[in-house]
A = this chain, B = another copy of it.
Amino acid sequence: MATYKRYRKEDTVSYSLGITLTFELLKFKTEYVNKVYIHSAMKEGETLDKLLSMCKAANIETVYTDKIFNVLSQKENCYVIGEFRKFNGKLSKDTSHIVLVNPSNAGNMGTIMRSALGFGMNNMAIIRPAVDAFDPKVVRASMGAIFSTNFEYFDSFEEYKKICGERELYPFMLNAKKSLHDVSPAGKFSLIFGNEATGLPDEFLNVGTSVIIPHSSNIDSLNLPIAASIAMYESTKKNFIK
């Protein structure tokens, strides 16, 4: 009999928890899906029919069991779980990047992926130590954006610099030189963000053009996904003329 374990970073597979996420998985990463688990409380009807026919068309096994839900999902109303093999990304020199240096919160990483996909910046460098991008919490917070995100881990910012090619680098820092209002990223660029609690170390003041998002002194800083999203919004504005 199958036994199910909690997700661990070392696993070769991860999970999409919930029907909406699993549809995103099936749509964008079909070839990586191992199985789709269906809970006994999943209602019959159009949605289930659609799920089953997508799985059948892609030759993906569907398994009816409640056990894996008890192990993997704390949420109610999670009746479908997709199991997928972890996939590898490789950043291209030719696109703009988001660079997360030592991100520690899974929800934040997922939220940033969602915004990044929204602003057409779905190429992400992640500098270790860092949260595991395949953690089901990242997958969920990304609302499926992770399946359209090209991300790659690096052991240090220096390692990243070796592959990123000539480009404008914009580290976001509270003691930065320039205001976001006054920079106009063009061509290829990288928006660089530090850890939630500590931000980027001071040595990043010497990397490219450091940038601050001006705000009142009544708060210490904006939260990380919000700062990253404002930066992406401003930097990609010209690509999204309504």
Contacts and interface: CB of A to CB of B under 8 A. Distances in A.
Interface of A: 111, 114-115, 117-120, 122, 143, 145, 148, 178-179, 181-182, 212-216, 218-220, 222-223, 225-226, 229-230, 233-234, 237, 240-242
Contacts of A220: 143
Interface of A (DSSP majority class): mixed
A229 to B, nearest CB: 5
Contacts of A178: 242
A120 to B, nearest CB: 5
A212 B242 contact: yes
Contact of A214 (B115, B215, B241): B241
Given A214-B240, A226-B225, A219 B117 contact: yes
A15 B145 CA distance: 35
A210 B242 CA distance: 13
A78 to B, nearest CB: 16
Given A117-B218, A118-B222, A120-B218, 17 more contacts: A111-B223, A115-B222, A115-B223, A118-B216, A122-B218, A143-B219, A143-B220, A181-B240, A182-B242, A212-B242, A222-B229, A223-B225, A225-B226, A229-B229, A229-B230, A230-B233, A233-B234
